[in-house]
Amino acid sequence: MKNAVTLVLTGIIFFSGLFLFAGEKTVWKKGDPLPPLNIPMPWPKLEKAEVAAKTVIDNERFVYSYSVHNSTQNYFPIYYFSIDIRKNPQEHSFSSQDVTVAHSADEHAIKIVNGIRAEMLKVVSPDKWHPVIKAKPKGAILPGAWSAGWAGGGWDMSSSLLLKPGGSATGFILLAKDPPGIREFLVDAELNPDFDNGLMKVPLERYGFYLNSLDFNAEINKGVEFIGKTIAPVVPPEPFTVSSWTARMMEDAIEARKQKWIKTDKNLAEIKKFISILNTGDKEKLKAAVKKIESYVLAEKKKGNLMDEADALIRLNALYLLQRIEKPEANK
């Protein structure tokens, strides 16, 4: 659960309750001494979430569609989904794992919000989910981030608006000029009494005590987020060259195999051969190589050997390379 951040009116900063796992069915009662914060506690944890992504080309622009699935392993509903579309993700960790007493959740969120992002042409939200809205400048949308329950004038965190364990949400869409690359995604859990399942609510008098404790917030933040990888708009390297682009495609293919978007080592080996052939200064040879990649990827995808993410990283990026070579002025 994110600590309050004045720059963002999102679930990043929303607290509706804090819960702790309890080894026994006991609840702190009014008047009991507050447990010292240095006593080890089993903090709430979001175990797993899945994001599936698909990309298509529409009028030389890329349409990214996402679906989010909350694992049945989790106790908590998901209320926040974000994709790291910053131009330079290395400038600051997307995860809150580096949040400490010295580096607060406020400071972390501000760095993420202020990062320069890839340009979005359009952002679409599924039912009951909304783009994250920044307070400064007022009403500005934070591209690539969605939250459930925002009703325009306030929050409604009732269970019907949240992605329950075992549930899925589709319809998260980004339209961008930039081609696919690999980026991290983040989902956040809402610690909600409707999903108790053995979790023990911190009484109100304890809630205020812990909420104002920096080390408590630094620790609790680490349990309610899940980080994974997906495809997203990534600004191409400049100056753009065939060699720099095929080098990026090669790196992405290797990572796609690790993510199981490419199902077998044999598929990866074949794709690496195709990418190597793309690295040519001869336009006709490039056209022929792209055609071979298209045929191979579509056939293997139909067999179930390549996922939609691999299709985007290999086939669509090969087409993008050809477009850049044939129409260099169109991408300036």
Residue length, the chain?
332
Judge whether residue 130 has pLDDT over 50.
yes
Give residue 39's pLDDT: 36
Listed ranges 77-91, 158-172, 224-238, 298-312; the one with the highest mean pLDDT: 298-312
Q: Are residues 76 and 149 in the same domain?
A: yes
Give residue 224's pLDDT: 77
CA 63 to centroid of chain Cα atoms: 16
Q: What is the pTM of this model?
A: 0.80
Whole-angstrom distance, CA of residue 285 vs CA of residue 328: 18
Q: Are residues 151 and 226 in the same domain?
A: yes
Q: Are residues 284 and 184 in the same domain?
A: no
User: For 265-320, what is each residue's pLDDT tens digit?
Assistant: 999 999 999 999 999 999 999 999 999 999 999 999 999 999 999 999 999 999 99
- Contact of 15 with 188, CB cutoff 8 Å: no
Q: Are residues 276 and 229 in the same domain?
A: no
Q: Are residues 148 and 268 in the same domain?
A: no
Q: Are residues 278 and 186 in the same domain?
A: no
Please name which of 106, 114, 79 lies closest in space to residue 4, comparing C-alpha atoms.
Answer: 106
Q: Are residues 106 and 215 in the same domain?
A: yes
In a domain, 110, yes or no: yes
Give residue 221's pLDDT: 57
Number of domains comprising the chain: 2
The verdict on whether omega for the bond into residue 89 sits within 30 degrees of 0, i.e. cis, is: no
The verdict on whether omega for the bond into residue 233 sits within 30 degrees of 0, i.e. cis, is: no
Q: Are residues 99 and 214 in the same domain?
A: yes
276: containing domain: 242-331
Last residue of a domain, one of 170, 203, 233: 233
In a domain, 1, yes or no: no
